[in-house]
Amino acid sequence: MKVELRIREKSYSANLLEPIDISIPLKAGTDNVNAWYSQPVKIEPVRMGDWIGDIASGGNVNTRNVTVNPHGNGTHTECLGHISKSPYNLNTCLKQFHFTAKVVTIDPVAVGEDKIIKLEQVSKLDLKDIKALIIRTTPNDRSKLTRQYSNTNPPFLSKEASEWICTNGIEHLLIDLPSVDKEHDDGKLSAHHAFWQYPDNPRISATISELIYVPDEIADGLYLLNIQITALENDASPSKPVLFKLNEK
C-alpha cells in the first residue's frame, strides 16, 4: 500500500507496509529508559479479594493496572499545556497525525559542563515544506533504550536553535533526549517557550516529542511521519512516532 505526495515540486511515494518505529517501548520494571526522577513503570494484575486478573496465577482473564509518567518513563508527545497556565491537552491540540518529516543527525557542542545543540547547527538545515524535524544526537547507541537520565545533565537545545526551528515552519519537533531544555535551568524551559512561542503567540497545534530512538541504520533524509498517541486528556501522552521512507519518483 503506497501513498504519494509532493515536496519542493518533486513527487515522492511511501510504502505504508514498511513502517519504521522510533519509539521506545514501555515495559514494567527498571530495565527501561527513565528521566525526571520518575518511578519505574508498573504493570500489575487487578486484585479484588481472592480474585486476580492474571490467568497464569489462576484468574480467568488478564486485566492489569498500568502506572506511568508520560514525561519520564519513555517516548512521549507533549503540547503547549506542558508550560501554559491554561489547561491545554494533547488530545485536543493534536488533530492531524501525518506530516512531512526530516531526520537529521547532530553532535551537540560542548560548552563548559553542558552539551548543546546550537543555532549554527540547525540553521544549516533545509526545512522547506517540512512540518516535522526529527533530531538524532550523537553518540547514538542502544543504551538510549534503557538509560537513566536523572541528574546526568543530558544535552539540550539552545533557545536560539529552538526559535529558529519554530520560525522555519516546523510544527512538530522530535528528539532522542529527555527534554529540549537543560535538566536544571531554574524552571525557565526557554527552548519549550521559544518553540511554542508562549505566551506571546502560542502555537496550540505544535508538539514536542522526547525520548525517541532513531537507530543508525535509519538514514538522514525525508520521511512521512505518523504520530500515534492515546486519547488521553493530559498535556502529554505516551506516543509511538512511526516513519515511512519517502522515495523520489
Cα separation, 99 vs 209, in Å, equals: 14
Q: Is 149 part of a structural domain of the chain?
A: yes
Q: Is 181 part of a structural domain of the chain?
A: yes
The model's pLDDT over 24-54, given as tens digits with 9 standing for 90+, comes to 999 999 999 999 999 999 999 999 999 999 9
Structural domain count of the chain: 1
> What is the domain extent for residue 124?
2-26+70-248
Q: Is 203 part of a structural domain of the chain?
A: yes
Cα separation, 177 vs 116, in Å, equals: 11
Cβ-in-10-Å burial (0-12, 13-18, 19+) of 156 comes to buried
* CATH code, domain carrying 18: 3.50.30.50
Q: Is 51 part of a structural domain of the chain?
A: no
* Element at 162 (helix H, strand E): helix 159-167
Cα separation, 52 vs 44, in Å, equals: 10
Per-residue pLDDT of the chain (249 residues; tens, 9 = 90+): 888 988 888 899 999 999 999 999 999 999 999 999 999 999 999 999 999 999 999 999 999 999 999 999 999 999 999 999 999 999 999 999 999 999 999 999 999 999 999 999 999 999 999 999 999 999 999 999 999 999 999 999 999 999 999 999 999 999 999 999 999 999 999 999 999 999 999 999 999 999 999 999 999 999 999 999 999 999 999 999 999 999 998
| C-alpha cell at position 158 | 539552545
If you count them, how many residues does the chain have? 249
Cβ-in-10-Å burial (0-12, 13-18, 19+) of 96 comes to exposed
pTM of this prediction?
A: 0.97
DSSP codes, 100-123: EEEEEEE-PEEETTEEEE-HHHHT
Give whole-number Cα distances, 18 to 15, 52, 68, 98, 246, in Å: 6, 39, 29, 15, 11
Q: Is 220 part of a structural domain of the chain?
A: yes
CA angle 191, 171, 74 (to 5 degrees): 65
